A and B are shown apart, each in its own frame.
Chain A
């Protein structure tokens, strides 16, 4: 209704509601409320978890939408659980349109069924969120591992059964995920692997120097909820800096997670 009276400042049409659904689903278990910063280049999101040891950074480029129009920079403070509730009302193949006015109270979501003439429309109340924004520099990582996202998810889940944290060791021989817990210990080692038939199963390790770091598995498992967004995941490691877990999306959009390594008590 609001949208009818005045032309919205933001209007972003997503061919598949599924994308936003999956993104929000992956983030909502890490962050409760966050700002969606909209400007003419797209929709960006940066937020930290409650403990401030992990950070999620999402960028949905304007090219991911068709069309995308954002006349003014606006921040949409949304509770992700609420957003998820509304997004669940959309079918995966629905066309999703995000609309917001200038200085908005609500964000308007319209789902259009691709098969029938069904249109559903929802408004979500916005909130003022005071979040600090961190500047994340482009970093040359010592080790960059690209692997199937399902593989990474499986490793994390398997090792989670044994321990709370995992040591990731990248050497020229391969990458080793190892852990030890009360019941014993376990390790999964991956080597570089090229699968010509199924390139999505490739494991690629780019290494400038060996790296060994320990991370909390609970957080990694949480990141893996984004596995459905992309076939492959990129792990970037350097000593003493946060691990970057990146899911690359179509048209240069991405979903990145950063996690601080565990220092001092390596198990």
Chain B
């Protein structure tokens, strides 16, 4: 199909290589928001979400898409993202039909037939666990009536039907035996099951879901968080204040989800959740920083005073809160979060909480001590001490001087200050400086 006949500008998409013929881009409800979103369905390998990788808004970049030459060049530019993926021209609207069909057309276009895409974004297909897709089915059942307390056992078919109510292309996925089996397998991992005749009935278990997420979290932590996340949520959070942050870190756990959301939308980097099962290919992350992350993290993060376990715990928590805030429906997310902070939590975050609280306290103290003489708060602690002192000294001297000046001021002089001198010219307008002559 011709790209130009479709509305909306083309999008640059990076797809996994060796796609089977049945690969489709389909619209499914997003696991977190339930908004219709694009996914790549690959019957043999699983399902992929699209992650937008874009330069920050402040840097203006565009794509020029041409013929074959351009095609190769783009690939070269993306070498750092390990693994070769085909660059393909497609667009959101075109994808519904047969997206793979127009690869041939595009690659054969001469460069003069090129196209400039205003936004320099790449959509990268990254694997996503089926689990997150089916999770939406449990929320409808539980959230609609009463939260979590009254969950019914449902058959797989019923559950899938719920998903397909929201996601119009879900049935196509179900149509493939392999993917259906994979989904059922994933459901078993998070559900309590009973057998009813020849059918299995499922009921979501928060504990099991959490355990599954913890497994994923462990995998993420093992591979290391992307550099930006590591810097922002781990190192910054645990460092004792040198530069005072805007936010008190006591609220770390609440703050994290929103932070990760921003991180997502900025899309400079992203982390895909890496499932344990056979549904995905092994290289699941497609973030700008991920390649480097794996190397750097262990050594440059741990200054001696903070034990490594704390870093590990915080990474774990960051990974979990990222997953929960990005892929788990809000109703389930709150249940999971309470479970995480309860004593039954599979991971004990208590030492971390204590540490963060103490850091927050130190920061608060640093903040309050600096706010005494200084309103700009732009200076670091180190220069603060002596600079503040000299500044206070200066201020004192200035005040003293002013006071002295006031004392040396007669009442008449003070009164004259109140006189409205509007419309009166300055003496220097009439009389020149020194002996300058002015005749009138």
Residues of A that sit less than 8 Å from B by CB: 28-33, 48-55, 79-82, 84, 132-137, 139-140, 164, 216, 218-219, 222, 225, 238, 240-242, 258, 260-265
Q: In the A-B complex, list the 5 residue pairs whose CB atoms are closest, starting with the nearest.
A: A29-B412, A134-B431, A135-B435, A53-B424, A260-B424
Task: Verify B430–A241 contact, CB threshold 8 A.
Answer: yes
Using Cβ atoms and an 8 Å threshold, which residues of chain A touch B437? 135, 137
Of the candidates B408, B420, B438, which one forms a contact with A82 in the assembled complex, judged by CB atoms under 8 Å apart? Answer: B408
- The verdict on B436 contacting chain A, using a C-beta distance below 8 Å, is yes
Across the interface, which residues of A come within 8 angstroms of B440, CB to CB?
Answer: 139-140, 238, 240-241
We find that the number of chain B residues with CB closer than 8 angstroms to chain A is 33
Interface residue from A81, A139, A222, A258 paired with B409 (Cβ < 8 Å): A81
* Closest residue on chain A to residue B439 by CB atoms: A137
Check: B411 CB closer than 8 A to any chain A CB. yes
Partner of B434, one of A51, A82, A133: A133
Q: How far is the CA of A53 from the CA of B410 in the complex (A)?
A: 18
CB neighbours (8 Å) of B427 from chain A are 48, 52-55, 134, 242, 258, 260
A29 touches B423 (CB 8 A): no
- In the complex, what residues of B have CB within 8 A of residue A136's CB? 431
Q: A258-B427, A263-B424 are in contact. Are A32 and B408 (CB under 8 A)?
A: yes
17 cross-chain CB contacts under 8 A: A32-B408, A50-B416, A51-B421, A53-B426, A82-B408, A84-B410, A133-B433, A135-B431, A164-B420, A216-B420, A225-B412, A258-B431, A260-B425, A260-B427, A260-B430, A263-B424, A265-B423
B255–chain A nearest beta-carbon distance, Å? 54
Pick the residue among B412, B413, B423 that contacts A262 (CB under 8 A). Answer: B423
Residues in chain B near residue A28, CB distance under 8 A:
410, 412-413
Residue among B410, B413, B427, B429 having the largest count of chain A Cβ atoms under 10 Å:
B427
Task: Decide: A32 near B424, CB < 8 A? Known: A81-B408, A132-B433.
Answer: no
In the complex, which residues 396-412 of chain B have their Cβ closer than 8 Å to any Cβ of chain A?
Answer: 405, 407-412
Query: Which residues does chain A contribute within 8 Å of B410, judged by CB atoms?
Result: 28-29, 32, 80-81, 84
What's the count of A-B pairs with C-beta under 8 Å?
Answer: 115
CA distance A264 to B421 in the complex (A): 12
Complexed CA–CA distance, A72 and B266 (Å): 77
Chain A, Cβ-Cβ closest to B435: A135
Alpha-carbon separation in the docked complex, A178 to B111 (Å): 89
What residues on B are CB-neighbors of A32 within 8 Å?
A: 405, 408-410, 413
> Which residue of B has the minimal Cβ distance to A216?
B419
A52 engages B438 (CB within 8 Å): no
**A84 CA / B411 CA spacing, docked (Å):** 13
A260 to B429, CA, bound (A): 9
**Residues of B in contact with A (beta carbons under 8 Å apart):** 405, 407-413, 415-417, 419-440
What would 15 more interface pairs be, CB under 8 Å, given A28-B410, A79-B408, A164-B420? Answer: A32-B409, A49-B413, A51-B426, A53-B426, A81-B407, A81-B408, A82-B408, A135-B432, A135-B434, A135-B437, A137-B438, A216-B424, A225-B412, A261-B424, A262-B423
Please determine whether A135 and B416 come into contact, CB atoms closer than 8 angstroms: no
- Least CB distance from A28 to B in Å reads 5
A256 to chain B: closest CB distance in Å?
12
Q: Tell me the bound Cα distance from A242 to B408 in angstroms.
A: 28
Q: In the complex, are the beta carbons of B428 and A216 less than 8 A apart?
A: no
Chain B residue nearest to A264 in the complex (CB): B423
- Chain A residues lying within 8 Å of B429, measured Cβ to Cβ, are 260
Q: A33-B408, A241-B440 are in contact. Are A218 and B416 (CB under 8 A)?
A: yes
User: A54 to B428, alpha carbons, bound, how many Å?
Assistant: 10
Chain A residue numbers with a CB within 8 Å of B413 are: 28-32, 49-50
Please give, as numbers and ranges, the residues of chain A lying within 8 Å of B417 by CB-CB distance.
Answer: 50-51
Q: Please judge, given known A-B contacts A137-B439, A238-B440, whether A263 and B423 are in contact too, CB under 8 Å.
A: yes
Would A132 and B424 be within 8 Å (CB), given that A30-B412, A218-B419 are in contact?
A: no
Closest beta carbon of chain B to A32's beta carbon, Å: 5
Docked pose: A51 CA to B426 CA in angstroms = 8
Docked-complex contact A53 and B425, CB < 8 angstroms: yes
A134 to B65, CA, bound (A): 74
Given A134-B432, A241-B440, A52 and B412 contact (CB-CB distance below 8 Å):
no
In the complex, the chain B residue whose C-beta lies closest to that of A263 is B423
Residues of A within 8 A of B430 (CB): 241-242, 258, 260
How close is A128's CB to chain B, nearest CB, in angstroms? 14
Which residues on A sit within 8 Å (CB–CB) of B421? 51, 53, 216
Residues of A within 8 A of B411 (CB): 29
Q: Distance (Å) between the CB of B303 and the closest chain A CB? A: 55
* Residue in contact with B431 in the complex, picked from A30, A55, A240, CB distance below 8 Å: A55
B439 touches A135 (CB 8 A): no
B432 closest partner in A (C-beta): A135
Neighbouring B residues of A216 by C-beta, 8 Å: 419-421, 424
Q: Which residue of A lies closest to B405 (CB)?
A: A32
Q: Indicate if the CB atoms of A51 and B416 lie closer than 8 Å.
A: yes
* Distance in Å: Cβ of B14 to nearest Cβ of chain A: 72
Q: Are A134 and B408 in contact (CB under 8 A)?
A: no
Nearest CB of B to A3, in Å: 25
Bound-state CA distance A32–B439 (Å) is: 30
Most buried by B among A135, A164, A261: A135
Task: Assess whether B415 is in contact with A218, with CB atoms less than 8 Å apart.
Answer: yes
Residue of B whose beta carbon sits closest to that of A142: B440
